[in-house]
Amino acid sequence: MSFWHLFVFAFVEGLTEFLPVSSTAHLILTAKVLNISQTDFVKLFEVVIQFGAIMAVLVLYAKLVLKNKKLILYLSVSLLPTVLVGFLLYSVIKTVFFESLGLIALTLFLGGLGFLAVEQLVSAEKIKLTKSLSRLTVKTALLIGLFQALAVVPGVSRAGAVILGMLILGYNRKSSVEYSFLLSVPTIALASSYDLYKTLSLITVESGQVLQLLLGVLLSFISAYLVIKLFLSFVQKHSLRLFGVYRIIIAVILWLLLI
CA–CA distance, 25 with 23 (Å, rounded to integer): 6
CA–CA distance, 134 with 28 (Å, rounded to integer): 37
CA–CA distance, 180 with 162 (Å, rounded to integer): 6
User: Which pLDDT tens digits describe the chain residue by residue (259 residues)?
Assistant: 677 888 888 888 889 999 999 888 888 888 888 887 777 777 788 888 889 999 999 999 998 888 888 999 999 999 999 999 888 876 776 666 666 788 888 999 999 999 999 999 999 999 999 999 999 999 999 999 999 999 888 889 999 999 999 999 999 999 999 999 999 999 999 888 877 877 666 566 676 778 888 899 999 999 999 999 999 999 999 999 999 999 999 999 888 887 6
DSSP 8-state code for residue 18: T
Q: In terms of Cα–Cα distance, which of 29, 94, 38, 26 is closest to 257?
A: 29
